[in-house]
Structure 1
Amino acid sequence: MDTTTAGIVFIAALVIALAVVHVPLGDYMYRVFARDKHSRAERVIYRLIGVQPGVEQTWGIYARSVLAFSAVSVLFLFFLQLSQGRLPLHPHDPGTPMTGSLAWNTAISFVTNTNWQNYAGESTMGHVVQMCGLAVQNFVSAAVGIAVAVALVRGFARHRTGELGNFWVDLVRGTIRILLPLSFVFAIVLISGGVIENFHLFSQTATTVADTGAQTLPGGPVASQEAIKLLGTNGGGFFNVNSAHPFENPTAWTNFVEIFLLLVIGFSLPRTFGRMVGSKKQGFAIVSVMATLALFSTILTNFFQLHHHGTVPTAVGAALEGVETRFGVADSATFASATTLTSTGAVDSAHDSMTSTGGLMAMFNMQLGEVAPGGTGSGLYGMLILAVITVFIAGLMVGRTPEYLGKKITPREIKLAAAYFLVTPLIVLTGTAAAMALPGERAAMANSGPHGLSEVLYAFTSAANNNGSAFAGLSANTTWWNTALGLAMVFGRFVPIIFALALAGSLAAQGRTPESDGTLPTHRPLFVGMVAGVTIILVALTFLPALALGPLAEGIH
């Protein structure tokens, strides 16, 4: 089987697997958030944190709860990292010193579901920090995204109320009933595929095949963190090279499982949305938009990686530069597309070594807002806001007040939706401009010219969209870069969340607008194509000048 055919089979198998679980997993998540009964474990947690689970919250209180929980999480993780030298299971000679700016950046990174890493995981972080700090945030940051998505869906589903649910209940349920059991099952699956799970540090030695000496092997509780790293679209690697490391991703079939895991919740949540608003067709329309964008991106990324040369591959004289040879170009390209279409950021190849147009696709995927299917929860609420913008544009074209799911899109709703969309480009372009204007920060680029600009643009695109992957040629572990990218992660995560919850509150306060002859059907292929087209056009208009100076200029150089 040639490379192209193998890549097509790989993608087709992924599509089939995701289609098979879409309905059962989506229905299960609907039941998780629709039922009022609480388990015994959940009631114990509510008592410990002082929450009354039967009391619902307005959008403002819900947003303040999200911010308060995240702020406490940042402080805890920040001080845990700074004190890790006094904790057990910590390497005696850490590879990257833990400074205050690095601890700040890492704490922000994991709490915002970005998982940007300016350190080598296996030699910098001890096992206690990995398990009690980073892995915990892998669960709860993903649960926060699901909770916000559910709150926005309730805004569409409810009428004449100010209540959107209870953040603490949604957080606990998302963690205990969805993320924990799925992670447990797939951790076992990954262990069976060869992913390691132990408490070794650097005490294991092995003799090389050529018997030229001993090699020290790192260890750790990897499989248990690998599952939630992907399910929660977190992406932080236990090892520095992430899923290109054979202890994190040993074989071609574990590579398939890992890509499946980072897509499965995002592609199943639209089914949950359809059940909650009482129309499965609406959920199918949203997942169709996601699937259209995802397939388009994956096919283009594979084509550009297989058939187009760029600065880096040409310079080294090999199209396999930066590609994990166990998986090949096609499977690595599919992983790159999936990880940037979501907010995962995990990698099984070096994105900095992709062809110029392949790297452009990775950036463009993130600049879409990571909505195909996007981050765990964040992809759904991002796509719903793009649907609102599309309905508004369609209303302008026919000269009537737009409606979506029985709610009128008034000037207040469209202002909130537009503000949500504009926040991330503002952060990306402002950060990139600032970095390029400062000579000291430009020095962090390993390359000059268009590829150097691409490294900087990729970094701020990744941080502001809470992705976490990088063009590794950028040396970003400095006080300025740690601070600037940390701020991009904070504002890129929480400002859109505030706008999404404000939109949910505005929608929930409305009554139901009955359908009329002028109502745009939002469950048909026409609407699917409109949302996909509006998404691409808005992003292209926003980022095309920057992309033209970076990856596009590199491609025609």
Structure 2
Amino acid sequence: MFALLSMGITLGLVLLLAQPAGHYMASVFNDAPSRLDRWFRWIERPLLSLGGVKHSNQTWKQYAGSVLVSNLVMILMVYTLFRLQQYLPLNPAGIPNMEPALAFNTAISFMTNTNLQHYSGESGLSYFSQMVGIVFMMFTAPATALSVSIAFIRGLAGLPLGHFFSDLVRSITRILLPVSFLFSLIFVALGVPQTLDPPAVVQTLEGGVQHIARGPVGSFLSIKELGNNGGGFFGVNSAHPFENPNALSNALQIILMLFIGTALPFTYGIMVGSIKQGRILFMSMGLLFLLLLGGALGAESQGNPVFDSYGFQQAGSMEGKEARFGIAQSTLYAVVTTASETGAVNTMHDTLTPLGGMAALSAMLLNTVFGGAGAGLMNVLMYVIVGVFLCGLMIGRTPEFLGKKIEAREMKLLAVTLLIHPVLILIPTAAALAAVPETISNPGFHGITQVLYEYASSAANNGSGFEGLADNNLFWNMSTAAVMYLGRFLSMITLLAVAGSLASKARIQETSGTLRTDSRGFMVILLGTVLVVGALTFFPVLVLGPIAEYLTL
């Protein structure tokens, strides 16, 4: 009962913050003069001037080109840093340069907002690489996705798409930087280290010597969660007591992971002039989240009685879970991190029960359960348009959405976008099972789930790992890097093309035959579309993996 109460309080705080945060973000990206300008223009103007940015609007092709070129340049910059880190300052542990394939994978991983780690955090990167390389990308990667999602919303609303670099700077200065700065102070106050001192050398009770890793973790942790990044400063991520010291820090991390994803539906509703429609999107994603959470909790609660850190008896398996948090909080964290496309972990997902692991995996396969900083909302809106189109076909009427006709060009682009995700997951999964079976620790059904999870995490830009894979080698580094990069940018380009196409169309008059997309009836249509498409696409491979494992226990 206590565990459920703590979960309810945490999710209740998320619910309370979602709407005001959504209104704030709408004011940030509103092109009209704002009271916020006097607080942030002093830092934004020099940055935009330095980059030669004029406040003119871009076409969708220009916007997409700016995204691709800027992100590619940042990937090359950080790759070079990783390759030279042993010669750079702030490396008290003397960590050597990353080898080429691993540096390539890591640079793409963090720049695509995935944060898949094929290295152990504290032993793979110097303080300089963590602060200048990793934290830099932890700001620019979510800001990129957030900017693209705002451009997509503007296109749906029939407005100019805006300018990428202006949106990027505003995302950082007005949202990511202030919130992460505040929470950095809170995490440090809760006991998270923030130091440039080398690892502490201590003598153990047995008389041995132990090196305890530490570093500038507090500033790393806040943007890790807020930006839906998820990469750990330490190898065990938020299961490490320095990265997640207590129940309060655990709850704050959950709130930060959901902060932007739960606020964006309300931002969308304000920007398109239909607050009710934004509320419907929030409710739809919330129901999917609760469905996955309920399934995971039900699965993880089966088993022998155990006692959590508070001394309360609970049923379930504690294998791989933090005794400090117990089954309920560990399961909640697992579902939140995959639903928000964050990838941080406070428990080892490889030790989840088959159905509990399938719930976390399904959140990434659907890729619409709140999702990351902007990417999740774009996927949801894609399904909204698909649902409108299907309803139009059933009644023999040209589908309309937000006063714009949905025609062949938009549907072709959306069909391509729908195919990108499963293609990037299923084909590499089959290739890995055939090409490198020796890197999979479990050759049975669980092994299939391990491989499927790795590519689902890469394609969904989540970054959490099922573990059990010997993945720091050329095959895994290069294949997951390709999946992460394509999974990130292909869908961005196609959805920007949809936004550009709709923005150029004249608005048509709404009639009595127009399908209302702000009703609970349409919410059922939307949820049905997401679940049916997801089941048709991924159910066969789920049968071969977690479902088969569950049935053979």
Determine if the TM-score, normalized by the shorter chain, exceeds 0.5: yes
Q: Residue 241 of structure 2 aligns to a residue in which SS?
A: coil
Q: How far apart are the structure 2 equivalents of 1:132 and 1:118?
A: 19
Alpha-carbon offset, residue 436 of structure 1 = 1.2
**Structure 2 match to 1:78:** 79
Matched, 1:345 2:343: yes
CA contact (8 A) 1:201 1:220 kept: yes
Task: Decide which moves more: 409-418 or 237-246.
Answer: 409-418
Cα distance in 2, alignment partners of residues 80 and 143 from structure 1:
21
Match of 1:206 in 2: 202
User: Superposed, which structure 2 residues align to 1:228-307 within 5 Å?
Assistant: 228-307=223-302
Q: Does structure 1 retain, via aligned residues, the 8 Å contact 2:392–2:398?
A: yes
**Counterpart residue type for residue 129 of structure 1:** S
Partners in 1 of 2:544 and 2:407 — Cα distance? 38
Structure 1 match to 2:320: 322
Post-superposition, which runs of at least 4 consecutive aligned residues in structure 1 deviate over 6 A? none
Task: Report if the CA contact (8 A) 1:308-1:357 is conserved.
Answer: no
The two structures have a TM-score, normalised by structure 1, of: 0.94
Check if 1:87 corresponds to 2:83. no
1:519 equivalent among 479, 504, 514:
514
Any gaps of 5 or more consecutive residues in structure 2?
305-315
Distance of aligned partners of 1:7 and 1:396 in 2 relative to their CA distance in 1, 3 Å threshold: farther
Partner residue, 2:308: none
TM-score, normalising length from structure 2? Answer: 0.94
* Equivalent residue runs for 1:98-137 within 5 Å: 98-137=98-137
Matched residue, 1:68? 69
Q: Distance in 2 between matches of 1:11 and 1:414?
A: 40
Query: Is residue 13 of structure 2 the alignment partner of residue 11 of structure 1?
Result: no
User: 1 CA distance for matches of 2:5 and 2:542?
Assistant: 31
Q: Secondary structure at the match of 1:27?
A: helix
CA contact (8 A) 1:322 1:353 kept: yes
1:92 Cα deviation from its structure 2 partner: 4.1
Amino acid in structure 2 at the alignment position of 1:407: K
Within 2, Cα distance between the matches of 1:346 and 1:397? Answer: 42
Aligned to 2:310: none
| 5+ residue gaps, structure 1 | 310-317
Alignment of 1:402-417 (within 5 A): 402-417=399-414
How much does 1:380 deviate? Answer: 1.0
Does the 8 Å contact 1:413/1:503 carry over to 2? yes
What is the DSSP-based 3-state SS (H/G/I as helix, E as strand, rest coil) of the residue aligned with 1:122?
Answer: helix
* Rounded Cα–Cα distance in structure 1 between residues aligned with 2:317 and 2:5: 21
In 1, are the aligned partners of 2:83 and 2:97 still within 8 Å (CA)? Answer: no
Residue pair 2:302, 2:317 contacting (<8 A) in 1 also: no
**CA-CA distance at 1:480 after TM superposition:** 1.1
Pairing partner for 1:34 from 30, 38, 50: 30
Report the Cα distance in structure 1 between the residues aligned to 2:207 and 2:290, rounded to whole angstroms: 47
Structure 2 CA distance for aligned equivalents of residues 308 and 462 of structure 1: 28
SS of corresponding position for 2:114: coil
Contact 1:340 1:365 in 2 (8 A): yes
User: In the alignment, what sits opposite 2:311?
Assistant: none
CA positional deviation for 1:342: 1.4
1:149-168 Cα distance to aligned partner (Å, 9 max, x none): 10010011126xxx310000
- How far the C-alpha of 1:215 sits from its partner, in A, is 2.7
2:163 corresponds in structure 1 to 166
Query: For 1:179 and 1:416, how far apart are their aligned partners in 2?
Result: 31
Partner-residue secondary structure (3-state), 1:457: helix
- Contact 1:407 1:512 survives alignment (8 Å): yes
Matches within 5 A, 1:414-429: 414-429=411-426
Per the alignment, residue 362 of structure 2 pairs with 364
* Amino acid paired to 1:86: Y
Question: Equivalent residue for 2:309?
Answer: none
Q: Which amino acid aligns with 2:87?
A: R
With 61-70 and 429-438 compared, the bigger mean Cα shift is at: 429-438
Q: 1:89 to 1:367 in 2, by over 3 A?
A: same
Distance 2:212 2:540 in 1: 46
Q: Hey, what does 2:185 align to over in structure 1?
A: 188
Q: Which moved more, 1:6-15 or 1:523-532?
A: 6-15
After superposition, where does 1:408-557 map in structure 2 within 5 Å? 408-438=405-435, 441-557=436-552
Whole-Å separation in 1 of the counterparts to 2:163 and 2:303? 50
Is residue 110–residue 116 contact of structure 2 (8 Å, CA) maintained in 1?
yes
SS in structure 2 of the partner of residue 412 of structure 1: helix
Indicate if the aligned counterparts of 1:89 and 1:201 stay in contact, CA closer than 8 A: no
**Are the counterparts in 1 of residues 86 and 97 from structure 2 also a CA contact under 8 Å?**
no
In structure 2, the partner of 1:401 is: 398
| Equivalent position amino acid for 1:413 in 2 | E
CA contact (8 A) 2:84 2:97 kept: no
Name the SS for the 2:301 alignment partner.
helix
Q: Deviation at 1:13?
A: 1.3
> Which residue pairs with 2:373 in the alignment?
376
Aligned equivalents of 1:200, 1:126: Cα separation in 2: 12
Query: Which deviations, in whole Å up to 9, do the C-alpha atoms of 1:118-161 show, x marking residues without a partner?
Result: 001111100111001100100010001110110010011126xx
CA displacement at 1:207 relative to structure 2: 4.4
Q: Is the 8 A contact 1:91 1:124 kept in 2?
A: no
The amino acid of 2:68's aligned partner reads L
When structure 1 is superposed on structure 2, of 83-92 and 534-543 the one drifting more is: 83-92
Paired residues of 2:92 and 2:197 also in contact (CA < 8 A): no
TM-superposed deviation, 1:73: 0.8
Displacement of 1:213 in angstroms is 3.9
Aligned-residue offset at 1:296: 1.0
Deviation of the 1:11 alpha carbon: 2.8
Amino acid of the residue matched to residue 51 of structure 1?
A: V
RMSD: 1.6
Q: CA deviation at 1:214?
A: 4.1
- 1:87-108 deviations in whole A, cap 9, x for unaligned? 12225454x8621000000000
Question: How many residues align structurally?
Answer: 536
Contact between 2:257 and 2:340, CA under 8 Å: does it hold in 1?
A: yes
1:295 is aligned with what amino acid?
L
1:189 positional shift: 1.3
Partners of 1:155 and 1:504 within 8 A in 2: yes
Letter in 2 for 1:186: F
Instruction: Give the corresponding residue for 1:50.
Output: 52
The aligned counterpart of 1:314 is none
SS at match of 1:206: strand
**Cα distance in 1, alignment partners of residues 92 and 385 from structure 2:** 50
Kept in 2, the 8 Å contact 1:101–1:482? The answer is yes
The residue matched to 1:307 in structure 2 has which SS?
coil
1:108 and 1:490 in contact (8 A); partners too: yes
Alignment correspondent of 1:315: none
**C-alpha separation between the residues in 1 aligned to 2:203 and 2:32?**
58
For residue 319 of structure 1, what is the amino acid of its counterpart?
Answer: S
